[in-house]
Amino acid sequence: MIEQALVELAVGVIEKRAELERTCKQLKSQQGSWTLHPMAGYEVERIAIEGLKNAWTMLDQLNRLAQSSLSTGP
């Protein structure tokens, strides 16, 4: 259940980032101006990726700890 939620959220982030990129391209073509929105979008995406990396690291460490407990026995 949690895995599916993470995947769905990650896909949602990617889709929203693509939507932002399309909107900014349209804005640039219509008004010829550049905005900070694309840069902010990249930063948000970078933060999301960093959060997922941190979650992976913590889960990996917990798994290693649990495996260590199994190998040492009660």
DSSP state of 34: -
Q: If residue 62 lies in a helix (H) or strand (E), which one and from where to where? A: helix 37-72
Cβ atoms of residues 17 and 45 within 8 Å: yes
First CA to last CA across the chain, in angstroms? 31
d(CA 47, CA 31): 29
pTM of the model as a whole:
0.65
Per-residue pLDDT of the chain (74 residues; tens, 9 = 90+): 788 888 888 888 889 889 988 988 888 888 877 778 888 888 988 898 899 889 889 989 999 999 998 888 66
d(CA 58, CA 67): 14
